[in-house]
Structure 1
Amino acid sequence: MSSSKQTHNHATIKAWAEKHGGVPAIVADTAKGDNDGVLRIHFPKHSENKSDLKEIDWDTFFENFDSNKLDLLYQEEKIDGEESTFHKFINRE
């Protein structure tokens, strides 16, 4: 059974991303003023082209993540039991 989890815990997010081969990134050319840009977790082995993504360090990622009061909604596995990289950023409630 597939289910989603939600967190803003830095250690949980980093561990989940790294377990699935993910790295912190921003969408290139989206930085405006004090905003570093649109956050993403990039999974290079699942992507043919990452030209629009710029890898960043985890500290920068979490500074942006926290200043925007975001949570990560994510899945550990798909309904068929296969590993999942599904995730999205949502506003904290």
Structure 2
Amino acid sequence: MNDQRRPGTRDPYAGPGASRSLKKPPESVVPGEGPQQPGRIVATRNHDVIRRWAEQRGARPATMPGSEYNGHLGVLRFDFPGYGGAVLRAVGWDEWFAAFDARRLTFRYQERGADGAPSNFNRLEQPHRDEL
């Protein structure tokens, strides 16, 4: 068996779960800009898009208690109604977006799942070192 990597395979230095497709600039989808294909995952840094997506699902901006550092928010989350699990602390949109912008995060989300039903899938990602 040959140990050489095939061209086009995943970058071994990108870290766990990273792929070349995540290195391209995130596409921002604004409501009314085009069709939302079921199952499609898009990315944005647009505050209006993020807030609209969360509010349509009844989600509120939140943080994990105890994750704060030097008076700044720590882990950013959305608190969805009816979900148990970790206890989250509600925060205001201004404070949440200030932390989001300071860390240069990207919001990846899904409008609808592959079955066409509204999706709560979301993930906050930090930029890769080569994008800083």
Q: Could you state the TM-score of these two structures normalised by the residue count of structure 1?
A: 0.90
Aligned to 2:119: 84
1:9 aligns with 2:12: no
Structural RMSD (CA): 1.4
Taking the aligned partners of 2:107 and 2:78, their CA distance within structure 1 comes to 10
Task: Give me the whole-angstrom Cα distance separating, in 1, the residues matched to 2:114 and 2:65.
Answer: 32
**Aligned twin of 1:32:** 69
SS in 2 for 1:44: coil
Aligned counterparts, 1:18-29, within 5 A: 18-29=55-66
Deviation at 1:9, TM superposition (A): 0.4
Q: In the alignment, does 2:87 pair up with 1:48?
A: no
**Higher share in helix:** 1
SS in structure 2 at match of 1:40: strand
Q: % of aligned pairs identical?
A: 34
**Larger relative contact order (Cα-Cα within 8 Å, sequence gap ≥ 6):** 1
1:73 aligns with 2:108: yes
Structure 1 residues without counterparts, runs of 5 or longer: none
TM-score when scaled to structure 2? 0.64
Deviation at 1:35, TM superposition (A): 3.1
1:88 aligned partner, one-letter code: R
| Corresponding position of 1:60 | 95
Aligned residues: 91
Structure that is richer in strand per residue: 1
Runs of 4+ with >2 A deviation: none
Structure of larger gyration radius: 2
**Cα distance per residue 1:26-65 (max 9 Å; x no partner):** 01111112531100011123x0345x20000000000000
